[in-house]
Amino acid sequence: MTSPEDHHEERREDHADASVAVRARRLEERLIAAGQATEAELDAYLSQLYGNAAPVNGARMAARAWTDPAYRQLLLADGNAAAAELGFTGLSYQLRVVANRADRHNVIVCTLCSCYPVSLLGPSPGWYKSFAYRSRTVREPRAVLAEFGLSLPPDTEIAVWDSTSEARYMVLPARPDGTGELAEDDLAALVTRNGLIGTALV
């Protein structure tokens, strides 16, 4: 919930936020009254969103790729097929997965509006939708990553991916050193949402 000390770049007073909430509810009621949506439908949508869409999905795919070279190959060649193998069928987008390497780091953005692979990462964080992230990541990715506390060696190539079409991008983080003995579930627990977007290493 918002607080009076909200430092978010799009500041708004509590009373203004309350009035937007009223406006949103009024629109909802108009549409429900006109038969264009139902309360149950909206509730069910949010339930399944919160229940099913979470970064653990993407994390499981990364962990599988770390332990199974054939899966890794599939993941990078055909993200949708790889997702389906782990039970994530019917993605509404073409999934493209890009692999981090020692000499290359990938980071994902959508400059036009904030497209994001919600079903595999959960709903996007506020910062991903911010004007600052959308405008600056394509222009000065190193500075943006530094704001996340990620400082990459100067000779690491940074590849920025702007999600402008029906494709959605996810990063396959590099497997951390010293994890050779871990089981797949434990590996998945290491993979963070920010690691899958490219604003963190794992």
Binding stretches for other proteins (CB under 8 A):
1-2, 6-10, 12, 17, 20-21, 23-25, 27-28, 30-31, 33-34, 36-37, 41-42, 45-46, 49, 94, 96, 109, 111-114, 122-127, 129-136, 138-142, 144, 147-148, 157-167
- Measured from the CB atom, the residue of 63 and 121 that comes closer to other proteins is 121
d(CA 62, CA 195): 10
- Measured from the CB atom, the residue of 147 and 186 that comes closer to other proteins is 147
**At its nearest, how many Å lie between other proteins and the CB of residue 15?**
13
Q: Looking at 8-143, which runs of residues are DSSP E strands?
A: 94-99, 104-109
**At its nearest, how many Å lie between other proteins and the CB of residue 59?**
17
Q: 3 is written with which tokens?
A: 């607080």
**Residues identified as active-site:** 110, 113-115
First to last CA, the chain: 29
- Measured from the CB atom, the residue of 12 and 186 that comes closer to other proteins is 12
Partnered with residue 39 across adjacent β-strands are none
- Measured from the CB atom, the residue of 52 and 135 that comes closer to other proteins is 135
Q: How many residues does the chain have?
A: 202
Non-local CB neighbours of 61 within 8 Å, separated by 6+ positions: 75, 82, 83, 86, 88, 97, 120, 170
**At its nearest, how many Å lie between other proteins and the CB of residue 156?**
10
Q: How far is C-alpha 56 from the geometric centre of its chain's CA atoms?
A: 11
Nearest by Cα to 64 from 77, 55, 54, 74: 74
**At its nearest, how many Å lie between other proteins and the CB of residue 155?**
9
